[in-house]
Every structure is written in structure tokens, then in C-alpha cells.
């Protein structure tokens, strides 16, 4: 089976889902379902580093790659998260070539980057050969994704796709719509046109392009797939609990009249 990074590099279809709450048992269960990756969010959730560690252990136990979205493009945040050993990292709100370079350099050790050395879980608590980690895991296995969330980012994307370290450019549709004064109008023409433009730029450059959706709606997911987006992360454990509960409750209420 191809790993997530290999699929992204080849622009193959990639499937993901989101973890928003704190229970690692749910993460382990979801990781056992067959998604390519689990998106663990630290930007819009209360997830701290200890909770994150538990999620990473659970995702590995379930056999699914973990990608952590950090709160901001901050090398200190990057270092601490990567030292915990996720399979990948996702940077929000990358708008320029300079911001992208800062992000990528923070994932790499000198001379390619400026990441400080001190991995713990990432090197299997020192059981892994450290040279192997530096030269193979970091350079060849770590998944690097960045979010394109503004008109400015789309305007700069033709230069950004030239960065060799990025595995996937992920669209943030809500913030994209907000950047043009159309917040949450993600299915209307102005935002749709921007996302189509970004998709074409990535497709032409041979780069994976992705999108994050919480929806489980087939029609909405198909809308983005048909736009040329090959990496789709959708649904979350909160959605699965809510929608599953609603279905069972409806059955019971219908039976009881």
C-alpha cells in the first residue's frame, strides 16, 4: 500500500478525516477505518501537546498516518510538534514565497533548514539511528502541507509551487472566502473561481492540491473532487457521533410513533 506522502507526490487520490476532540480512543478507532491520514487540529481546538501525543500514539496504533495542523507558522511550534513524531505537519495561512520558505526551513535541519535538534518520540525514544532520522525520515518521509487561504496566496501560488519540499497545497475555503469579503460563501462564484485557479496552478505544476471539509454530504464532496482536487479531508469524529446519533434517534422515534 502506498503511503500518504507517496500518493501526494504522485498526485493520486488521497483520503483524510479530522480529529477535533481529545479522546485518543476515538482516534485509534477512526485510524482503523482505512483513511490515508488523520488530520489532528491544533489551530481551532483546545488540543495541547500532551493531548496531541496521545492522538499520535493512537493514530499509529490504528495504522493511519497523522498530519498535525499547527496554530501558526512559528518555528518554535514546529520544532516541538515534529519532535513528537507525527507523520506530517500542516501550516495554516501561507500567503507568500517568503512565508513558505520560513515554514519549510523550520522542518529541516541545517544546512537545508534551521530546525534545532532534539527529537524524542520522533526517533523512537533514541532507539532509531539519529543519522537515519536526519537524512531519511526528515527529508524523505515527513509530509509537508501548507494551506492556501487567501486571494494573496492564490496570486503567489505560481511561484510557491516551485518549492520542492511541499507535498500538498491545502485550500482553506472559509478563510479564502473571507479574504475577498465573502465569508462562508464558499460555493458562490467569487470563491469558486479562486479555488479553480489554485487547482489549475497546482495541477499544471504536478503538485497535489487538497481541501478540508467537515461535511459528510456526498454532493458537496463531489463538487470539490470534480474541481480537480485530489486530496480530500472530510468529516470528523464529532460529525460521525452527531449524525449517527440522529439516525438512531429517528429510527426509535419513528417506531414509537
Q: Tens of pLDDT along 7-52?
A: 999 999 999 999 999 999 999 999 999 999 999 999 999 999 999 9
pLDDT of residue 66: 98
Whether 2 has a pLDDT exceeding 80, the answer reads: no
pTM value is 0.97
Within 8 A by CB and 6+ apart from 203, the residues are 11, 209, 228
CATH number of the domain within which 241 lies = 3.20.20.60
Q: Using a pLDDT cut of 70, give the percent of the chain over it.
A: 99
Residue 128 C-alpha cell reads as 532509531
The pLDDT of residue 80 is above 90: yes
Average of pLDDT values for 197-221?
97
Q: Mean pLDDT for the chain? A: 97
CA distance to 69, 151, 214, per residue, from 195 (Å): 20, 9, 17
Residue 204 has pLDDT above 70, yes or no: yes
103 has a pLDDT exceeding 70: yes
Q: What is the pLDDT of residue 257?
A: 86
Is the link from the previous residue into 130 a cis peptide, with omega within 30 of 0? Answer: no
For residues 148-175, give the mean pLDDT: 98
Residue 112 belongs to what domain range? 4-256
| Tally of structural domains, the chain | 1
What is the average pLDDT across 192-221?
97
* Closest C-alpha to 203, from 158, 247, 245: 158
What average pLDDT does range 113-139 have in this prediction?
A: 97
What is the mean pLDDT of the segment spanning 214-219? 95
Q: What is the pLDDT of residues 234-256, one digit of tens each?
A: 999 999 999 999 999 999 999 99
pLDDT of residue 67: 98
**Residue whose C-alpha cell reads 494573496 in the numeric block:** 152
Residue 1, pLDDT > 60, answer no
DSSP assignment letter at 134: I
Average pLDDT of the segment spanning 156-181? 98
Give yes or no for a contact between 146 and 102, defined as CB atoms under 8 angstroms apart.
Answer: no
Long-range contact list for 66-72, CB < 8 A, 24+ apart? 66/37, 66/38, 66/40, 67/4, 67/16, 67/37, 67/38, 67/39, 67/40, 67/143, 67/145, 68/40, 68/42, 69/39, 69/40, 69/41, 69/42, 69/43, 69/147, 70/42, 70/43, 71/42, 71/43, 72/43
Query: By three-state DSSP, how is residue 234 classified?
Result: strand
Residue identified by cell 513528537 is: 84
Q: What is the mean pLDDT of residues 207-228?
A: 96
User: Average pLDDT in the 65-79 region?
Assistant: 98
SS3 content of the chain, % helix, strand, coil (to 5): 45, 15, 35
Nearest to 84 by CA among 36, 48, 37, 110: 48
Amino acid at each position: 500500500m502506498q503511503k500518504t506522502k507517496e500518493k501526494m507526490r504522485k498526485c493520486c487520490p488521497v483520503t483524510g478525516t479530522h480529529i477535533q476532540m481529545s479522546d485518543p480512543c476515538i482516534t485509534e478507532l477512526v485510524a482503523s477505518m482505512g483513511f490515508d491520514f488523520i488530520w489532528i487540529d491544533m489551530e481551532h481546538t483546545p488540543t495541547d501537546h500532551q493531548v496531541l501525543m496521545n492522538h499520535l500514539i493512537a493514530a499509529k496504533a490504528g495504522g493511519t498516518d497523522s498530519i498535525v495542523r499547527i496554530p501558526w507558522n512559528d518555528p518554535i511550534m514546529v520544532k516541538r510538534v515534529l519532535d513528537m513524531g507525527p507523520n506530517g505537519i500542516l501550516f495554516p495561512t501561507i500567503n507568500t514565497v517568503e512565508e513558505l520558505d520560513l515554514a519549510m526551513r523550520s522542518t529541516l535541519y541545517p544546512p537545508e533548514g534551521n530546525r534545532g535538534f532534539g527529537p524524542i518520540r520522533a526517533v523512537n525514544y533514541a532507539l532509531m539511528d539519529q543519522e537515519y532520522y536526519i537524512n531519511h525520515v526528515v527529508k524523505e518521509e515527513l509530509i509537508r502541507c501548507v494551506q492556501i487561504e487567501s486571494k494573496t496566496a492564490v496570486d503567489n501560488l505560481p511561484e510557491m509551487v516551485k518549492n520542492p519540499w511541499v507535498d500538498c497545497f491545502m485550500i482553506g475555503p472559509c478563510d479564502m472566502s473571507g479574504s475577498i469579503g465573502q465569508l462562508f460563501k464558499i460555493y458562490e462564484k467569487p470563491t469558486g473561481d479562486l479555488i479553480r485557479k489554485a487547482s489549475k496552478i497546482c495541477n499544471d505544476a504536478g503538485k497535489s492540491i487538497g481541501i478540508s471539509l467537515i461535511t459528510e454530504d456526498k454532493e458537496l464532496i463531489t463538487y470539490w473532487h470534480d474541481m480537480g482536487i485530489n486530496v480530500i479531508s472530510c468529516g470528523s469524529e464529532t460529525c460521525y457521533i452527531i449524525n449517527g446519533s440522529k439516525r438512531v434517534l429517528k429510527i426509535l422515534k419513528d417506531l414509537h410513533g
